[in-house]
Structure 1
Amino acid sequence: MSAAKSKQATKSTKSTPKKAVIIGAGPGGLAAGMLLSAQQYEVHVYEKQPFLGGRTSRMELGEYAFDLGPTFLMMPHLLEELFTLAGRQLEDYVKWLPLDPLYTLKFGEMSFSPTLDREEMVDLIEDLFPGNGKGYLSFMKNEGKKYDRVEKLLQQPFTSITDYVNLNVFKALPRLHAWDTVYQRLSSYFSDERLIHAFTFQAKYLGMSPWECPGTFTILSYLEHRYGLMHPIGGVNQICKAMASVIEENGGTVHLAEGVKQVKVTNGKATGLILESGEETEADHVVINADFGTAMTQLFAPGVIRKYTPEKLEQKKWSCSTFMLYLGVNREIEMNHHTILFSSDYKKNVDEIVRTQTLSDDPSIYVHNPSRLDPTLAPKGKSSLYVLMPCPNLDGNIDWEQQKEAVREQVLNRLEQEPELRNLRQDIEVEKMLTPLDWQQDIFVYKGATFNMAHTLDQMMYLRPRNQFEEVENCWLVGGGTHPGSGLPTIMESAKISTDLIQKQDQRKSRFLGVSG
């Protein structure tokens, strides 16, 4: 064959696919892997744990199953769009049940169970909180307008300061309420403190106090009341299982129990990984889905990271943590799917969590009772009960090894005050406890801050660690530690943003965000 013909034949052969390695099989990493594998990238996901999901994993205790972290799916249309971008249908992988009422909120002896039916909701509010029905309708109208503006900001990257100078930002600014707080915004709609708390507690999803959380995040409670909450059959962890399946169907590989020791960096560029086994792998792109603080302190050689050194990370603001009990109970528990037991002094409780960072004598407690609707999670006639108490992260001066049993007793004492949970202790068959220290040591969550870096004004959008990681080229961030932030819907958006930027850099036509390279 002539040299010309040989050259022509070489050109006609299929080019070698770009290789992307992903650190962490949490929802952000798996979403990125699913999108990239659908675009013919060679994808390898490396997960330190022997199971999928990170904080969104499945825990099994004997015959009982639990979600480790997130317990509901919000805005399922975003997840459906993600699967559509990957050439799949979500319904082929995950089934879910809508929840109505959304949850039950307990204020002492009073119970409030919000519904998606607006007329019924107004009647309910007027019955329990007279004179506040109109405030609810105003809330839904005004916050809807705000979300329509903010949504675009959650879908675009902020890789440089010039990203602020665009039409989306200018449209959103008048409605962001960024210099208000969530509590102040809700106080403009409602007069009853209990009702205000019913629409502000969602700031806890960001690990923040509603008295400090920027007013922008009133959209969290709005989104619940607009789109509702869903329970995936088998738990939220099934979303991670589904995305891993798509990666493998596309020829990618998810490596479980294969931790990463270090990101290889040459001349300021990420070139691959060094695994804990000592094996090295080369790559065109490195995507970090590991917990951000943990990644910065453990995954780079000394001197590579300058902006996020251990000393500088100490100066960042971090979310609160959670004390967890996972209980397999030998009886059916007749509680709603989600129940929140509010402290009698909610503001004091929140201040103790985020300001003084001390343990509360009267904590608020969240109870998840999914097996009432989902028989796959517990044997017939039994219940899988998930209990969460927000608490300080490891910046608090709390000796968790010494205090954990006392906190467990405090939580169980409070639970047993509820009629449905009386004598709970005697029916517990299996149990697991997680403290903030366990979150750090076993789940590799920096400071045990289960909701990642806080969403203060100085840690949002361009001021948050960027999707196109500013410290190292060919390195990308996904997950709660980057833009747009923590929470499953925004974590999924981070994956779309980062994979779009990867394709743009590779000068490939992108199906994400309408951007072409």
Structure 2
Amino acid sequence: MPVTTVAEPATSSPSVDDARPHAVVIGSGFGGLAAAVRLGARGYRVTVLEKLDAPGGRAYVFRQDGFTFDAGPTIVTAPFVLEELWQLCGRRMEDDIDLRPMDPFYQIRFHDGEVFNYWADVEKVREEVKRFAPDDLEGYDAYMKASEANYKVGFEDLAHVPFNSMLDMVKVVPDLVKLQSYRSVYGMVAKYVKNPRLREVLSFHPLLVGGNPFRTTSVYCLISYLERRYGVHFAMGGTGRLVEGLVDLIRGQGNEVRCGQEVANINVQSGRVTGVRMKSGESIAADIVVSNADSAFTYRSLVPPPARQRWTNNRIERARYSMSLFVWYFGTKKRYEDVPHHSIILGPRYKELIEDIFQRKILAEDFSLYLHRPTKTDPSLAPEGCDTFYVLSPVPHMQSGVDWAEKAEPYRRKISEFLSSSILPDLEQQVISSHMITPQYFQDDLNSFHGAAFGLEPIMLQSAGFRPHNKSEDVKGLYLVGAGTHPGAGLPGVISSARVLDSVVPDAAQAKGAR
């Protein structure tokens, strides 16, 4: 079945006589698009270069057989980080984007069919906790207070700090010690609640940003409070509608997004960027370059080796990377009215499966799944009377040695049989459109090192100042945004990485003079 992409609006190129300093942004994921908007608001002429034939990066959109499939993020939290980008352009996001709150946020389904509804209403969640384990209610309340404390430090105080030096890290150590950030997310949850299933309900969130709940620093417990405070939302028309809205902002600033434009390397002279060279052979001069490409790929494949001192191949290869994903997109000729918008389907093993994925790097016989049914909220994403779905399974990245050309279809079939026997009866007979992506796609199409879906794994020694810096340590005039730099993966994280640029990228007048 043919896959087509989102139609790209016509590009209007800035005038060659444009006197503004020139910023080239490599990649049009949310981090790159947010960076382009911010740089445009600060007086830069911006050119966004995208390898794929449509913008979005991990938020690419597949269209086939009348179905719309969001390839990447489907959960919008902290909508204010998006609203700020519209405000920088003198516009209101609500005029362009229709965000709908989800309730419940997720339905969490255990392997025996028991269900925990993660409601937007705090008291309804507390009732769910009481239903599972009355003795854990007090512990749950205490955990949420700890989550709030982590949110205030990890998101409000630190997400926009550039961490240019070790001194920046030293300053935050007392707060991190006070928060017991040496614990894992699961360890922090286990400190407060005893019921095994509640521990799973409260600790799965790091998987949404590529982290192992048993190894990811407990700072990421902040996600629980972030969701409670701001809700979980869905953009009508799909996540691709957000991408279209950001591209429209960039073009409204007189700047451009060029798709089908693959960068071969970043040009560096005397330790400073001078622009980029395209695979086509074209060279584009720039005063600054912002890479929204995978950080490991940026340093390993785009920055010339002589210009690299800190992020050498050895250091990149010694780092630890997130898991990858197997995602099956499918459309059905009937509607499954009882299936919620977001379902987390947990398998019979929790810690053991996560160890298979992250440590042992083997493709296990069992799985846990995220099932997305956007047509619960927006029926326009499928033909009339049909449903659009995707089902996501965390899997090891390409260091596992799995041959996905051979394994993808049997793995899809196994997932389909499971769904058919549980939440989606008669599924195989109802599917009329199908598409898959595997770790091979993340490696080959998205240039993610090892096919890791979220870049560097968010463990303590690969967080904040220990990640590749937003302002390159190796090359003057080079900046990084996206999942592989600070603060990390997830929609709020990558958009916040662009906000860090406000404190490290020089004003437009200074940038023009520095070249």
Instruction: Please state which band the TM-score falls in when normalised by the shorter chain.
Output: over 0.9
Separation in structure 2 between the aligned mates of residue 503 and residue 84 of structure 1, nearest angstrom: 21
Aligned counterpart in structure 2 of residue 158 of structure 1, from 163, 180, 184: 163
Q: Report 1:140-219 matches (<5 A).
A: 140-150=144-154, 151-166=156-171, 169=172, 172-219=175-222
Aligned to 1:131, the other structure's residue is in SS state helix
Residue equivalent to 2:119: 115
Separation in structure 2 between the aligned mates of residue 503 and residue 62 of structure 1, nearest angstrom: 47
Q: Please give the per-residue CA displacement for 1:173-199, whole angstroms capped at 9, x wherever unaligned.
A: 344322111111001221111111001
Q: Report 1:249-260 matches (<5 A).
A: 249-260=252-263
Deviation at 1:170, TM superposition (A): 5.9
Residue equivalent to 2:376: 372
Residue equivalent to 2:358: 354
Deviation at 1:163, TM superposition (A): 1.8
> Is 1:284 the equivalent of 2:287?
yes
* Structure 2: segments with no counterpart, 5+ residues: 1-16
Residue equivalent to 1:338: 342
Deviation at 1:398, TM superposition (A): 1.6
Separation in structure 1 between the aligned mates of residue 442 and residue 82 of structure 2, nearest angstrom: 27
Aligned counterpart in structure 1 of residue 227 of structure 2, from 224, 227, 247: 224
Moved more, 243-252 or 208-217: 208-217
Contact 2:147 2:223 in 1 (8 A): no
Separation in structure 2 between the aligned mates of residue 146 and residue 458 of structure 1, nearest angstrom: 17
Separation in structure 1 between the aligned mates of residue 61 and residue 18 of structure 2, nearest angstrom: 39
Contact 2:42 2:508 in 1 (8 A): no
CA RMSD of aligned residues (A): 1.8
Separation in structure 2 between the aligned mates of residue 479 and residue 311 of structure 1, nearest angstrom: 22
Deviation at 1:301, TM superposition (A): 2.9
Separation in structure 1 between the aligned mates of residue 163 and residue 40 of structure 2, nearest angstrom: 24
Separation in structure 2 between the aligned mates of residue 184 and residue 448 of structure 1, nearest angstrom: 28
> Is 1:461 the equivalent of 2:464?
yes
Letter in 2 for 1:31: A
Separation in structure 1 between the aligned mates of residue 133 and residue 382 of structure 2, nearest angstrom: 37
Separation in structure 2 between the aligned mates of residue 58 and residue 176 of structure 1, nearest angstrom: 39
Deviation at 1:138, TM superposition (A): 1.6
> Is 1:324 the equivalent of 2:327?
yes
> Is 1:31 the equivalent of 2:34?
yes
Residue equivalent to 2:276: 273
Letter in 2 for 1:437: Q
Letter in 2 for 1:132: D
Separation in structure 2 between the aligned mates of residue 505 and residue 381 of structure 1, nearest angstrom: 52
Residues 297, 375 of structure 1: alpha-carbon distance in 2 compared, 3 angstrom cutoff = same
Separation in structure 2 between the aligned mates of residue 61 and residue 282 of structure 1, nearest angstrom: 38
Deviation at 1:313, TM superposition (A): 1.6
Residue equivalent to 2:419: 415
Aligned to 2:506, the other structure's residue is in SS state helix
> Is 1:138 the equivalent of 2:142?
yes
Residue equivalent to 1:75: 78
Deviation at 1:85, TM superposition (A): 2.9
Q: Please give the per-residue CA displacement for 1:240-259, whole angstroms capped at 9, x wherever unaligned.
A: 21111111011001111111
Separation in structure 2 between the aligned mates of residue 464 and residue 327 of structure 1, nearest angstrom: 36
Separation in structure 2 between the aligned mates of residue 120 and residue 428 of structure 1, nearest angstrom: 35
Using the aligned pairs only, state the percent identity: 33
Separation in structure 2 between the aligned mates of residue 70 and residue 372 of structure 1, nearest angstrom: 17
Deviation at 1:15, TM superposition (A): 9.7
Deviation at 1:401, TM superposition (A): 1.9
Deviation at 1:329, TM superposition (A): 1.0
Separation in structure 1 between the aligned mates of residue 377 and residue 273 of structure 2, nearest angstrom: 46
Deviation at 1:506, TM superposition (A): 5.3
Deviation at 1:297, TM superposition (A): 2.5
Separation in structure 1 between the aligned mates of residue 349 and residue 18 of structure 2, nearest angstrom: 64
Moved more, 396-405 or 182-191: 396-405
Separation in structure 1 between the aligned mates of residue 312 and residue 173 of structure 2, nearest angstrom: 34
Letter in 2 for 1:376: S
Deviation at 1:314, TM superposition (A): 1.4
Moved more, 442-451 or 381-390: 442-451
Aligned to 1:503, the other structure's residue is in SS state coil
Residues 77, 175 of structure 1: alpha-carbon distance in 2 compared, 3 angstrom cutoff = farther
Contact 2:20 2:508 in 1 (8 A): no
Residue equivalent to 2:446: 443
Separation in structure 1 between the aligned mates of residue 509 and residue 397 of structure 2, nearest angstrom: 40
Aligned to 1:74, the other structure's residue is in SS state coil
Deviation at 1:504, TM superposition (A): 5.1
Separation in structure 2 between the aligned mates of residue 417 and residue 35 of structure 1, nearest angstrom: 48
Residues 284, 146 of structure 1: alpha-carbon distance in 2 compared, 3 angstrom cutoff = same
Deviation at 1:500, TM superposition (A): 3.3
Q: Please give the per-residue CA displacement for 1:384-414, whole angstroms capped at 9, x wherever unaligned.
A: 1101000000111322222222211211121
Contact 1:32 1:499 in 2 (8 A): no
Separation in structure 2 between the aligned mates of residue 162 and residue 209 of structure 1, nearest angstrom: 28
Residue equivalent to 1:19: 22
Moved more, 336-345 or 119-128: 119-128
The count of corresponding residues between Structure 1 and Structure 2 is 492
TM-score calculated relative to the size of structure 1: 0.92
Q: Report 1:241-256 matches (<5 A).
A: 241-256=244-259
* Structure 1: segments with no counterpart, 5+ residues: 1-13, 509-517
Contact 1:320 1:353 in 2 (8 A): yes
Letter in 1 for 2:250: I
Query: For the pair shown, which has the larger CA radius of gyration, 1 or 2?
Result: 1
Aligned to 2:489, the other structure's residue is in SS state coil
Q: Report 1:417-436 matches (<5 A).
A: 417-418=421-422, 420-436=423-439
Residue equivalent to 2:14: none
Residue equivalent to 2:47: 44
Aligned counterpart in structure 2 of residue 313 of structure 1, from 312, 316, 320: 316
Aligned to 1:113, the other structure's residue is in SS state strand
> Is 1:86 the equivalent of 2:77?
no
Separation in structure 2 between the aligned mates of residue 121 and residue 281 of structure 1, nearest angstrom: 53
Letter in 1 for 2:283: E
Deviation at 1:161, TM superposition (A): 1.4
TM-score calculated relative to the size of structure 2: 0.92
Aligned counterpart in structure 1 of residue 102 of structure 2, from 99, 103, 106: 99
Moved more, 422-431 or 217-226: 217-226
Separation in structure 1 between the aligned mates of residue 118 and residue 321 of structure 2, nearest angstrom: 30
Contact 2:150 2:221 in 1 (8 A): no
Deviation at 1:507, TM superposition (A): 5.2
Residue equivalent to 1:398: 402
